[in-house]
Amino acid sequence: MTQPVRTAPTLAEVAAAAGVSRSTASRALNDSPRISEETKKRVRAAAKEVNFVPNARGRALAVGRTEIIAVLVTEPLSELFSDPTYSEFLSGITEELSESSYLPVILQASSTHERNRAREHFERRSFDAVIDVSPYKGSELLEVLRELGVPTVLCGQLEGHPYRDVFSTVYSDDEEGGHFAALAMKERGRKDIVAVLGPQDNPAVVDRLRGYRAVLGEDLPDANVIYTGWNNGDGYQAMHQILAREIAFDGVLCGSDRIAAGVITALNEAGLSVPADVSVVGFDDHEIATRCVPALTTVRQPLREEGHMAANIALDMIKGAEPTTSVMHMQLIQRDSL
Amino acid sequence: MTQPVRTAPTLAEVAAAAGVSRSTASRALNDSPRISEETKKRVRAAAKEVNFVPNARGRALAVGRTEIIAVLVTEPLSELFSDPTYSEFLSGITEELSESSYLPVILQASSTHERNRAREHFERRSFDAVIDVSPYKGSELLEVLRELGVPTVLCGQLEGHPYRDVFSTVYSDDEEGGHFAALAMKERGRKDIVAVLGPQDNPAVVDRLRGYRAVLGEDLPDANVIYTGWNNGDGYQAMHQILAREIAFDGVLCGSDRIAAGVITALNEAGLSVPADVSVVGFDDHEIATRCVPALTTVRQPLREEGHMAANIALDMIKGAEPTTSVMHMQLIQRDSL
DNA sequence: GTTAACGGTGCAACCGGTTGTACAACCGGG
DNA sequence: CCCGGTTGTACAACCGGTTGCACCGTTAAC
């Protein structure tokens, strides 16, 4: 009961069936202008007849490209999976690449073991380009990619731009985002602001805070800035701490929409009304933002567009383009929490 | 300011540096017994000298393998991302493959466009094997893989086993799992059971229910079986419906731990105590199970081990092994909700 | 009528490895 | 001294495509 392991038809068979040489068959299928319409038709018919599909291995060797782009994920998958912003971003990448002949594949590299495997395959030139969705400074893999000269796109700004001259970068302007959020608070007349942000060492967090500060100045005192995780629970807990301090405040800037959701819950439990007593602004325009009560005013990060951009830059770099840096613009989404 | 695009060293350069032929160099690096130790040493030194790494494209063509295994994801990424069971399973796969020279890559194929791209790359033989993490009956891609004779492992049982003779299958014995859960209820003396399950068309749901029934018989009447989604909210809502019916029950079998979490919340809100008044058993041994109050008794699905198994079977099939079906065993995890 | 130009096709080399087979050098045995 | 066997290496073919270049026949121009 062995299955019929039809070995795939090769170009030679197509050529024979069409009564032409291998080279003519190749050119015909690649629509070269040097081949007559008549011959092209015959070759195409023959190819269809035997179900010919060019073998990726042979083609890759000949053209010097595998037509595969690796999407490098250096975080643990579970973390990636719990953060829906990535899913949006990845969809952007695959969407864009599906217009081309390139295939995006997700390459997990969280454990040391996985990183070594990934490194090996980079060295073997298994991929034409790499898109790193969560690059961090000092990553060994980035060092390897740099040495190998593999076209690489970093998604997110690295502090000090250590690879600016070799890698392309795509990121959203977090400072601008902070600007928008803070400006909205100011226009609403809020004067005593609290910020519940993500991890202190996160570059996006730093930039957003800078944006807040530029607008609010002393209305956002140092003591009112809390660093925590990205989740509902983190926001909830942080808000409780703030309430316990019994300071006066009328606005909360949040590092993520999930943080904001937790913050709102905590405020409601404390008998404070949003937005009557306190204004809340989130970040990300996560799906949860519309489900909050009241619906959350937030800063939209153009994740899908970032994905598109990253994919396009990768394709350009494969064609030999110089590395570029591309900044995407944030947008304030007005809802009811302000 | 163009970067130094060092073109990678080829085997020929290594051979030249070591003063041997290309074939000898190749055999030396592959540790062939036909080459003298002395020569091997010289070749290895030369290879290290010029930083030689065999080019994947050339090698793939020669050996007829790409050494890449595709992990096919046919669901929308967002769904995949929201279900942490997958992350566990995927980790199992990568863990196991990282012992070999094979590289697992995640291939998203949720949109029609993506599926067409995937199909194309299957036909081009870009991958040595495919692991489908969420196969469904009648999938065009499975049909393609079957026709092409690509080694394929299905994770999950397909109703009617349509591909049993060509594909391998790995799945957990859901009926056995249902058995364990129901048996625990019975031993605890629970007589009036309610089941809150996942979607009715899900094969795992069907099998689990069969397991429940085999043990409980009339203690689980048809009217007490509710089909819903997999999430907290679904469990919460379903429990409210049951409470509204004002029927007597002393045990709830849940289709997932997240459902169970929602169920417990609803029970508590209704003033019922778990496990004093009502016993609750979950499914999956999801991380949430330990965070429930009380900690959830549940059925553990050996996801990581399933991943290991799937990877190993894929490797075997690449070497020519016949398709096999492998059933993993469930395990009751005793905690405090029973 | 000869020649240049041109469109269409095939030969052969090439991409970068692996591998079957031939061959050279060396050994010991008769 | 010749022979068979062993060991170590090189030559060349092969994997399945692409592509530079030579060559062919036809037609247009002189």
User: Can you tell me the distance from the alpha carbon of B338 to that of B336, in angstroms, rounded to the nearest whole number?
Assistant: 6
Separation of CA A286 from chain center: 14
According to DSSP, the residues that pair with A130 across neighbouring strands are A70, A152
- Residues of B with Cβ-Cβ distance to A118 under 8 angstroms: 103
Please list, residue by residue across A259-297, b when 16 or more beta carbons sit within 10 angstroms of its beta carbon and e when fewer do.
Answer: bbbbbbbbbeeeebebbeebbbbbbbbbebbeebeeebb
A 18-47, residues with C-beta < 7 Å of strand C: 19-24, 27, 33-36, 38-39
Helix B203-216 with B174-187: angle, nearest 10 deg: 30
- A residues 170..199 contacting B (CB < 8 A): none
According to DSSP, the residues that pair with B169 across neighbouring strands are B154, B325
Closest CB to A61: pick one of B5, B61, B70.
B61
Q: Which positions of strand D lie within 7 Å of protein CB atoms?
A: 7-12, 14-20
Question: Which residues lie below 8 Å from residue A234, measured CB to CB, with a gap of 6+?
Answer: A196, A228, A258, A259, A262
Of A181, A180, A182, A157, residue with least CA distance to A167 = A157
The whole-number pLDDT of residue A99 equals: 87
User: Can you tell me the distance from the alpha carbon of B129 to that of B145, in angstroms, rounded to the nearest whole number?
Assistant: 9
Which site among B105, B116, B324 would you substitute to test the A interface, given the most A Cβ atoms closer than 10 Å to its Cβ?
B105
Angle at B235 between CA A228 and CA B254, to 5 degrees: 110
| End-to-end CA separation in angstroms for chain B | 69
Mean pLDDT of all residues in B219-239: 92
The whole-number pLDDT of residue A78 equals: 65
Q: Is B82 on the interface with A (CB under 8 A)?
A: yes
- Residues of B with Cβ-Cβ distance to A142 under 8 angstroms: none
Residue type, B228: T
* Distance D16 C1' – A57 CA (angstroms): 7
The whole-number pLDDT of residue A1 equals: 39
Nearest-CA residue of chain A relative to B1?
A165
User: Can you tell me the distance from the alpha carbon of B81 to that of A92, in angstroms, rounded to the nearest whole number?
Assistant: 15
Asked if the model's pLDDT at residue B81 lies above 80, the reply is no
- Residues of B with Cβ-Cβ distance to A1 under 8 angstroms: 165
Q: Is A148 on the interface with B (CB under 8 A)?
A: yes
- Residues of A with Cβ-Cβ distance to B148 under 8 angstroms: 6, 8
Instruction: List, edge to edge, every strand of the sheet that includes A225-227.
Output: A225-227, A193-197, A251-254, A279-281
The whole-number pLDDT of residue B159 equals: 80
Look up residue B218 and give its two tokens: 């009339």
According to DSSP, the residues that pair with A153 across neighbouring strands are A131, A168
The C-alpha of B278 sits at a distance from chain A's nearest C-alpha, in angstroms, of 28
SS (H, E, C) chain B: CCCCCCCCCCHHHHHHHHCCCHHHHHHHHCCCCCCCHHHHHHHHHHHHHCCCCCCHHHHHHHHCCCCEEEEEECCCHHHHHHCHHHHHHHHHHHHHHCCCCCEEEEEECCCHHHHHHHHHHHHCCCCCEEEECCCCCCCHHHHHHHHHCCCEEEECCCCCCCCCCCCEEEEECHHHHHHHHHHHHHHCCCCCEEEEECCCCCHHHHHHHHHHHHHHHHHCCHHHEEECCCCHHHHHHHHHHHHHHCCCCCEEEECCHHHHHHHHHHHHHCCCCCCCCCEEECCECCCHHHHCCCCCEEEECCHHHHHHHHHHHHHHHHCCCCCCEEEECCEEECCCCC
Given an 8 Å threshold on Cβ–Cβ distance, is B61 in contact with A58? Answer: yes
A61 beta carbon < 7 A from strand C?
Answer: yes
Closest CB to B114: pick one of A61, A64, A94.
A94
Beta carbons of A51 and A17 less than 8 angstroms apart: no
Q: What residues of chain A score a pLDDT lower than 50?
A: 1-4
The whole-number pLDDT of residue B242 equals: 95
For B296-305, write each residue's pLDDT tens digit. Answer: 999 999 999 9
Q: Is B248 on the interface with A (CB under 8 A)?
A: no
Q: Is A121 on the interface with B (CB under 8 A)?
A: yes
Mean pLDDT of all residues in B21-33: 93
A117-131, A235-249, B1-15, B251-265: range with lowest mean pLDDT: B1-15
* Distance D7 C1' – B23 CA (angstroms): 16
The C-alpha of A123 sits at a distance from chain B's nearest C-alpha, in angstroms, of 6
User: Can you tell me the distance from the alpha carbon of B252 to that of A222, in angstroms, rounded to the nearest whole number?
Assistant: 50
- When the pLDDT of each residue in chain B is averaged and rounded to a whole number, the result is 91
Closest CB to B105: pick one of A82, A106, A322.
A106
Across the A:B interface, residue pairs with CB atoms under 8 Å apart total: 142
For B274-332, write each residue's pLDDT tens digit. Answer: 999 999 999 999 888 998 989 999 999 999 999 999 999 999 999 999 999 999 999 99
Question: Which residues lie below 8 Å from residue B234, measured CB to CB, with a gap of 6+?
Answer: B196, B228, B258, B259, B262
Q: Which residues touch strand D (CB under 7 A)?
A: A 7-8, 10-12, 22-23, 26-27, 29-30, 52, 54-55, 57-59, 61-63; B 19-24, 27, 34-36, 38-39, 61-62, 64
Torsion of CA B203, B152, B118, A85, to 10 degrees: 60
Chain position carrying tokens 């030249």? B16
User: Can you tell me the distance from the alpha carbon of B14 to that of A330, in angstroms, rounded to the nearest whole number?
Assistant: 52
Q: How far is CA B86 from CA A147, A157, B89, in A?
A: 34, 30, 5
For B57-80, write each residue's pLDDT tens digit. Answer: 999 999 999 999 999 998 776 666
User: Can you tell me the distance from the alpha carbon of B288 to that of B280, in angstroms, rounded to the nearest whole number?
Assistant: 14
The C-alpha of A181 sits at a distance from chain B's nearest C-alpha, in angstroms, of 27
SS (H, E, C) chain A: CCCCCCCCCCHHHHHHHHCCCHHHHHHHHCCCCCCCHHHHHHHHHHHHHHCCCCCHHHHHHHHCCCCEEEEEECCCHHHHHHCHHHHHHHHHHHHHHCCCCCEEEEEECCCHHHHHHHHHHHHCCCCCEEEECCCCCCCHHHHHHHHHCCCEEEECCCCCCCCCCCCEEEEECHHHHHHHHHHHHHHCCCCCEEEEECCCCCHHHHHHHHHHHHHHHHHCCHHHEEECCCCHHHHHHHHHHHHHHCCCCCEEEECCHHHHHHHHHHHHHCCCCCCCCCEEECCECCCHHHHCCCCCEEEECCHHHHHHHHHHHHHHHHCCCCCCEEEECCEEECCCCC
The whole-number pLDDT of residue A137 equals: 82
Q: What is the rounded radius of gyration, in angstroms, for the C-alpha atoms of chain B?
A: 26
- Residues of B with Cβ-Cβ distance to A86 under 8 angstroms: 81
Of B176, B173, B257, B172, residue with least CA distance to B214 = B176
User: Nearest nucleotide by C1' from B27 CA?
Assistant: C18
Given an 8 Å threshold on Cβ–Cβ distance, is A125 in contact with B56? Answer: yes
* Distance C19 C1' – B333 CA (angstroms): 54
Asked if the model's pLDDT at residue B4 lies above 80, the reply is no
The C-alpha of B142 sits at a distance from chain A's nearest C-alpha, in angstroms, of 15
Look up residue B216 and give its two tokens: 């409980």
The whole-number pLDDT of residue B74 equals: 84
The C-alpha of B113 sits at a distance from chain A's nearest C-alpha, in angstroms, of 7
Asked if the model's pLDDT at residue B3 lies above 60, the reply is no
In this prediction, residue B1 has a pLDDT band, given cuts at 50, 70 and 90, of very low
User: Can you tell me the distance from the alpha carbon of B159 to that of B164, in angstroms, rounded to the nearest whole number?
Assistant: 11
Asked if the model's pLDDT at residue B243 lies above 50, the reply is yes
The whole-number pLDDT of residue A85 equals: 73
